[in-house]
Structure 1
Amino acid sequence: MKQVKPSFIGAKTLCALALMGAFSAQAQAQSSVTIYGRVVAGVDIMTNVPKNDGSGTTGTRVRSASNQWGTSMIGFKGTEDLGGGTNAFFLLESGFGSTTGGLNGTDINGTSLFNRRSYVGLSSANAGTLKLGKNLFINNDVWFLDPTGQQWIGTANLVRGRNWPGASNVIEYTTPTFGGFGATLQTSLGEAAGSFSKGGTSTKYGRKDGLSLVYQNNGLELRGIYDVVRDPNGRYTDVYDTSKELILGGTYKIDKLKLFLGYENLRAPDVNVASGAPDRVNHYWLGANYDVTSQLQLVGSVFHVNANNGNGSANLFMAGVNYFLSKRTLLYVGAGTMRNGNNANYSLEADSSTGGGKGTNQTGGYFGIAHSF
C-alpha cells in the first residue's frame, strides 16, 4: 500500500490551526462575558387593600405577581485575567416587571436602563476588590440574614424598604477574607458643590456611606451593617428614608436546618417630632429554612417592629414553600399576615401604598414560577 506524505503547505496549515486553537483557548481562559437573568411571575392575593374609588373602604385584591419572590432581571457580566492573580470585571444589570415587561419604575430599581447595577472594577485574592459605578446599597447585605431571601413578605416590610435601596456614584472596596473575617466599605457620592444633593437613586438623596462586616466559620455566619443616608441638605429627616441604620444578626446551619436571627435599628435625629413622625424604630426577626429534600424547602419567619413617638408596633408572620423542579426552575408559595397595633399602618407586602390604614390587619400571599438563566 502506497503511503502518502503530507505536503509542506498542509503541514504549515495544520500548525497554524493548532496555534490559532491554542491562542483561542488562552483568550477564552483569560476573558469571558456571560448573559444571565431571572424571570419571576405569579398571582398575588391580599385582604384589606384600599379601594381606588376614594371611598376610604378596603377590599380583597387579586392581581398578577411580578417580583414578589425575587426580582426579574437581565444582566451582562465579564472578567479578564490580567495576570498575577488580578482580574478586571464589569457588571450591567436591569430589573424589570415580568407582568408588563417594563422597567421597575414603581420600586427601588428606577427607570434607568441598568437600574440595579452598572459597575467596573478590579479584584485580587491578596488585595481585595474595588468597584466603581452603580450598585445595590450596602445594607442589601441584610439578604444574608433574611429567612425569606428578601421576598415581598420579609425584612423590608416593617422598615418600609429602608434596607434595600440602590446607590449611584459608588466607590466600594471589599477586603480579602482573613480567618473567616471580611469587610466591605461603600460610599455613594453626592456630586454637587457645596451640598450633598444628587447622590443615591434620585435627587432627593444626599451622600450615602456604609460598612458591612462578616464572620464565617463552618455553619456559623455573623454580620454587622452600619450605614447612613442623608437628605439633600446632609440631614436625617425621615426615619424610613434618610436616616442612620444598624443591622446585626447571624445564621447557623445544622444539617438540613438553617436558623436566622436579626435586629435593625433606625434613627433620624433631625426629624420634627412635633409632627408626630417617629425618629427611632426597632425591628427584630427570627426564622428558619428547612430542606425536606433536595427539591423541597420550607420557610418560616416572625418579624416585630416598634416605632417611637406613639407610632405603635406590628407583628408580621410568614410561611413559604420553595419547590425546585430543577437547578433553574422553581415553584414558590408565600403566605403571611400583618397584625398592626392601633397606631401602626404597615403593609403585608413591601409596598407601602397597599397599607390599609392604622390598626388594619392584612392577610394574603402569592404563588408563582421563577426561572433563572
Structure 2
Amino acid sequence: MTRAVAGTLLGLAGLTAGSAQAQSSVTIYGRVDAGVDYQSNVATSGGGSGSLWRASGNQWGTSMIGFKGTEDLGGGLSAFFLLESGFDATKGSTNGSALFNRRSYVGLAGSAGSLKLGKNLFIDNDVWFLDPTGQQFIGTATLVRGRNWQGADNVIEYQTPTWGGFNATVQTSLGEQAGSLTKKRKDGISLVYANQTVELRAIYDVVRDANGRFVDVFDTSKELILGGTLTIDKLKLFAGYENLRAPDAAPTSSDKANHYWVGANYQVTPALTLIGSVFRVNVNKGGGNANLFMAGANYSLSKRTLLYVGAGTVRNSSNANFSVEATNNNPLPGQNQNGAYAGISHSF
C-alpha cells in the first residue's frame, strides 16, 4: 500500500469516526410493574359496600416503555427527544388512547437552559420529589383525587440552568380554542433549591375548564404546593403542603382544600428501604376531612428488579368518601377504608 493511499484511507476513517460521534444516540427504556391489590368497603351500585381483590398494574409505579435520544449540535448545544407510553401490565392495555400517553416531546438544551415542545406530564407532577412514597397509589395524589397527577398536551416548557443549587421550570399547555387564550389552558411554575442534604420546592399552577374558569377544586383549579426533604445519613424526611382553590365553583360546592403530609424513608440495608407517611385533607363547605396513613417497603433483588409492599388506611369524616388509594373505588360517605398491595417491578 502506498503512502498516498494509506493517508487517504486514514483521512476517510477520521471523517467516518467524526460523523459517527455526531450522530444521535437512541435509548429504549421502561418498567413493568404488576402485583395484587386489596381494598375494603368499596361502594357498590346497589348502595352497599364490599371488599375488592384485583390485580395491580400501576399501584407502586406506572408500567411504561419509552424511547429517548440526543444529538450533539456543537458549541454546547444539543437536540433531544422523548417518547413514552404508560400501560397496565395486568391487562396489556395503555393508560389512555394516545400512542404516547405520558410524554412525546422534542427540544434543545444548552448553556441557557432547555426548551421542550410537545406533550409532557403537567408541572405539578414535581410533587413526586416531595412524596415519601414516590407517588404510589397510597400517596400525595390520593386525598386530592389525582389533581396533582395530570398530563399536559400542547406543551411549551422552559427550564433554566442550575445556579448554586437553584433551578426553575415554567410550563404552558395551550388549550387550542379559537378566539380564546385561556379556555382549557394550563400554566405553571416550579422552583427548586437542592444540595446533598436539603431540597426545597415550590409549585404553582392553574388548570382551566372549557370556559377558561376554575369550577372544580379537584379538577379545574388553582394549586400551590410547598415542601421539602432533609437527608440525614440513611434517613430521609419529607414534609409538604398543598392548597387548592376553585374561585368559580357553584356557591354550594367546595371551593377550597388544604392538604398536608409528613413522612420518612429509612434505608435499613442497601437493598431494603422502609416507608412511612401521614396525609390529611380538609375541604370546605361540607366536603369533609380525612386522614390517610401509609406504611411500605421496597426490597431490591438487583439494580433492575425490586419487590414492594404497601398498606394504608383512610379515616373519613361523616360526609367524606376519600379512597385509601388514588382510584375511583371510594367508600360510602363516612366509611373508613383499608388497602394493601404487593408486587414486582422490573426496569430495563
- The two structures share one fold, judged by TM-score above 0.5: yes
Match of 1:38 in 2: 31
The one-letter code of the counterpart of 1:297 is T
Larger Rg: 1
The one-letter code of the counterpart of 1:183 is A
Match of 1:149 in 2: 134
Please report the TM-score for the alignment, with normalisation by the length of structure 2: 0.96
Deviation digits for residues 137-184 of structure 1, max 9, x if unmatched? Answer: 000000000000000000001000000100000000000111111100
- Alignment of 1:123 with 2:101, yes or no, is no
Q: 1:133 aligns with which of 118, 125, 131?
A: 118
Computed over aligned residues only, the root mean square deviation of the Cα atoms, in angstroms, reads 1.8
Match of 2:345 in 1: 370
What runs of 5+ residues in structure 2 fail to find an aligned partner?
none
Match of 2:93 in 1: 102
Cα distance in 2, alignment partners of residues 19 and 267 from structure 1: 64
- C-alpha spacing 1:171/1:322, structure 2 compared with 1 (3 Å): same
Matches within 5 A, 1:57-206: 57-104=48-95, 110-124=96-110, 126-195=111-180, 206=184
- Alignment of 1:345 with 2:324, yes or no, is no
The one-letter code of the counterpart of 1:312 is G
Q: 2:331 aligns with which of 356, 361, 366?
A: 356
Cα distance in 1, alignment partners of residues 174 and 136 from structure 2: 29
Percent sequence identity over aligned pairs: 69
Q: 2:271 aligns with which of 295, 305, 311?
A: 295
Q: What SS does the aligned partner of 1:354 have?
A: coil
Q: What SS does the aligned partner of 1:273 have?
A: coil
Deviation digits for residues 14-39 of structure 1, max 9, x if unmatched? Answer: 97488447734752465200000000
The structural deviation recorded for 1:195 is 3.0
Q: What SS does the aligned partner of 1:143 have?
A: helix
Cα distance in 2, alignment partners of residues 295 and 12 from structure 1: 58
Aligned length: 348
Q: What SS does the aligned partner of 1:27 have?
A: helix
- C-alpha spacing 1:28/1:34, structure 2 compared with 1 (3 Å): farther
- C-alpha spacing 1:292/1:26, structure 2 compared with 1 (3 Å): farther
Q: 1:308 aligns with which of 284, 298, 306?
A: 284
Please report the TM-score for the alignment, with normalisation by the length of structure 1: 0.90
- Alignment of 1:253 with 2:231, yes or no, is yes
Contact 2:49 2:332 in 1 (8 A): no
The structural deviation recorded for 1:364 is 1.6
Contact 2:316 2:336 in 1 (8 A): yes
Q: What SS does the aligned partner of 2:94 have?
A: coil
The structural deviation recorded for 1:190 is 1.1
Cα distance in 1, alignment partners of residues 295 and 7 from structure 2: 63
Contact 1:195 1:233 in 2 (8 A): no
The one-letter code of the counterpart of 2:118 is G
Deviation digits for residues 75-104 of structure 1, max 9, x if unmatched? Answer: 000000011111100000001110111111
The structural deviation recorded for 1:363 is 0.7
Cα distance in 2, alignment partners of residues 150 and 215 from structure 1: 20
Query: Which structure has more strand as a fraction of its residues?
Result: 2
Deviation digits for residues 311-361 of structure 1, max 9, x if unmatched? Answer: 11100000000000111101000000011011111001101x200121111
Q: 2:241 aligns with which of 248, 263, 267?
A: 263
Match of 1:3 in 2: none
Match of 1:4 in 2: none
Deviation digits for residues 230-274 of structure 1, max 9, x if unmatched? Answer: 001110000000000000000010110000000000000000122
